[in-house]
Amino acid sequence: MSLNNPDTVPYLTYNSLSEISFIKHAFSTRLGGVSKGIFSTMNLAFNRGDKKEDVVENYHRLCESVGIDFDTLVASAQDHNTFVRCVTGENCGTGITKPRDIESVDALITNEKNVTLVTYYADCTPLFFVDTNKRAIGLAHAGWRGTVGRIGEKVIKEMTAKFNTNPKDLICAVGPAISKCCYEVDKICADEFYKLSDLDTSKFIIPKMNNKFMIDLLETNRQILIKSGVLPNNITVSDLCTKCNSDFLWSHRATNGNRGTMCAMMCIKE
């Protein structure tokens, strides 16, 4: 990944996605905004107790840094499920300057220009999808529930249904997220990952002592994408752990939930 504008409003980009000429994308950090206290400084969530005017200003600053039109933003309404919403220009502003008009949206897709998808993170896994043939895009929020619910697979199926996407034409990116070095879960949670029996669970479930397990969310999602038809060489996986880099990225676990929120953004350029 590349760090952009480090001295003003920093954001991350994937080199593999930056090579695609018709899209623009970004992943924010916790720096460069105006929020105060536990939200300091780049918080992009309206629902955590931060001042609305500060969050709006943060969006304006991030959009200016990335080169995205603030008025094109369309936000998800995440609750760790797997619903995929197809959005158009009519939805611009939803969740940002307009009220949410639908709940339980953990993934967004579009094939329209100047519609910027926005999804939220603070340890969970962002998934980026770009159909280089049909010129369509998707973003998904994959927490552990969304991951075991195969949200990545559901995005691909929805893009196939709506845009006639061939999975082999997809360029995908996974992360940043809390990584296997830091993501410890109990047996109840690990058992949900063991149910993904068509995957190589030994690659993403690492047993520990006392019925504890380390989970690799990024590898799990990578395998789900491959199982869904994405070519392995078309998937880039971040090596940034949000908890290990909690001075730079928001981490729910590192802050015990006293935190702001990052976002992923992506749009089809005009």
Give percent of the chain with pLDDT exceeding 90. 100
Which pLDDT score, from 0 to 100, does residue 270 have? Answer: 73
Is pTM, for the whole model, over 0.85?
A: yes
Task: Report the 3 state secondary structure along 84-145.
Answer: EEECCHHHCCECCCECCCCCCECEEEECCECCEEEEEECCCEEEEEEECCCCEEEEEEECHH
The per-type count for the chain, helices as H runs and strands as E runs, is: 6, 15
Q: Where are the alpha helices (DSSP H) in the chain?
A: 15-18, 52-66, 144-148, 151-163, 187-194, 217-227
Confidence of residue 16 (pLDDT cuts 50, 70, 90): very high
Is residue 61 classed as helix, strand or coil in its secondary structure?
A: helix
Cis peptide before 176 (omega within 30 of 0): yes
Give percent of the chain with pLDDT exceeding 70. 100
DSSP 80: S
What average pLDDT does the segment 49-60 reach?
98
Which pLDDT score, from 0 to 100, does residue 93 have? Answer: 98
Residue 175 has pLDDT above 90, yes or no: yes
Confidence of residue 263 (pLDDT cuts 50, 70, 90): very high
For helices 151-163 and 217-227, give the axis angle rounded to 10 degrees: 40
Per-residue model confidence as pLDDT tens digits over 67-100: 999 999 999 999 999 999 999 999 999 999 999 9
Which pLDDT score, from 0 to 100, does residue 131 have? Answer: 98
Which pLDDT score, from 0 to 100, does residue 216 have? Answer: 98
Per-residue model confidence as pLDDT tens digits over 120-172: 999 999 999 999 999 999 999 999 999 999 999 999 999 999 999 999 999 99
What average pLDDT does the segment 234-243 reach?
98
What average pLDDT does the segment 227-247 reach?
98
Residue 212 has pLDDT above 90, yes or no: yes
The domain locations on the chain are: 2-178+218-268
Mean pLDDT of the chain: 98
Report the half-sphere exposure of 65 (CA within 13 A, side-chain side). Answer: 26
Determine the CATH number of domain 2-178+218-268.
3.60.140.10
Residue 186 has pLDDT above 80, yes or no: yes
What average pLDDT does the segment 232-237 reach?
98
